[in-house]
Amino acid sequence: MQERKRLEEFISLEIGVSAMTSDLDTLFELAREGEPVLDDIQRDLRKFAKHIDKLETEMLLSGENASKNAIMTIHPGAGGTESQDWAEMLARMYYRWAERQGFKIEETDRQEGDGAGIKSVTFEVNGENAYGLLQSEIGVHRLVRISPFDANARRHTSFASAFVFPQIDDDIVIDIKPDDLKIDVFRASGAGGQHVNRTESAVRFTHLPTGIVVQCQNERSQHKNRATALKILRSRLYEHEMEKRRVEERKLEASKSDINFGSQIRNYVLAPYRLVKDLRTKLAVGDTDGVLDGDLDGFIHSYLVWKKTGKLAGDDKDPED
């Protein structure tokens, strides 16, 4: 059903592109005949460009976990109430972005700040490609504004970090192939009676891909020893798989930056001018209110293009120059 839904969305997007192209062709033909349709062309071109950007974003998503749901954590940097308030603003920005995408947010942990803001928050973002899209937000976010907590109305700089994990399914299927097992039977040693010591009832399983070895010799029946050894092997393989995941999580953790000056990925400047600028892609947006209200598609798209090609999507001119 998920695959069917994904294919239906692709078909819908393609139909949409065809319809928009046909409409634009009609408008250009009317323009050549002298009809006053310039405003309509500009409106439809903007709509068409936004649609193409969405298609390109879908194509740029890659990686084993890109299509999975995401788990996001936000922590304030040093600075007390200022940074805690900024962390809460950042969380709200992602909540609003998720709403725009039709994703569902489930908050799993939240620690309120001292007086205002939050000390930390963890939430799930459930939706198609949530992790692939939110990878662009991993890092430190810097806010510059006139502090609402400063009686002298001075300008303050605050930091908060965002980090994203893919949500791994809880259902782990331990599939043990017969060809992956080396099975040895032998006589049990030690106490157990004449029957146990005289028959080859003990069993040893060696899982060849991982090298895990388990054995059982407690039961009088080889059949029971096999069942017990197989149960132990399944548990060992489960733990082996969990350890592999923990190693991957530690690699992700190691990629985190300090929440401080010089480590930010994006600046949100609200004073003395208003501008949000991504320091990786150089994309800058003057509509700070829109960005803080969840309009992040431009930043996500430009990040995916930059990550894939090393170039900025769209115009390379820096609005600050």
C-alpha distances in Å from residue 2, one per residue of 5, 8, 15, 67, 286: 5, 10, 20, 11, 38
Burial of 265 (0-12, 13-18, 19+ CB in 10 A): buried
Q: Decide if pLDDT at 311 tops 60.
A: yes
- Contacts of residue 55, defined as CB under 8 A and 6 or more positions apart, other chains included, come to 13, 17
pLDDT over 70, % of the chain:
84
Look up residue 150 and give its amino acid. Answer: D
Gyration radius of the chain over CA positions: 28
Q: What is the pLDDT of residues 141-150, one digit of tens each?
A: 999 999 998 8
Q: What is the pLDDT of residue 319?
A: 40
Q: What is the pLDDT of residue 320?
A: 43
Q: What is the pLDDT of residue 242?
A: 72
Q: What is the pLDDT of residue 262?
A: 59
Q: Decide if pLDDT at 184 tops 90.
A: no
Q: What is the pLDDT of residue 314?
A: 53
| Strand order across the beta sheet in which 139-146 lies | 104-112, 118-126, 70-76, 155-166, 139-146, 264-269, 275-278, 284-285
Q: What is the pLDDT of residues 77-109, one digit of tens each?
A: 977 899 999 999 999 999 999 999 999 998 888
Q: Decide if pLDDT at 312 tops 70.
A: no
315 vs 281, residue with greater confidence: 281
Q: Does residue 135 contact residue 164 with C-beta atoms inside 8 Å?
A: yes
Mean pLDDT of the chain: 83
Name which of 311, 300, 266, 279 is nearest 86 in CA terms: 266
Q: What is the pLDDT of residue 91?
A: 97
CATH of domain 179-250: 3.30.160.20
What is the reported pTM?
Answer: 0.66
Q: What is the pLDDT of residues 205-236, one digit of tens each?
A: 899 988 988 888 767 788 888 887 887 788 78
Domain borders along the chain are 2-60, 179-250
Q: Which DSSP state fits 178?
A: G
Residue owning tokens 């039709």: 102
Q: What is the pLDDT of residue 165?
A: 84
Q: What is the pLDDT of residues 280-307, one digit of tens each?
A: 999 999 999 999 999 999 999 899 989 8
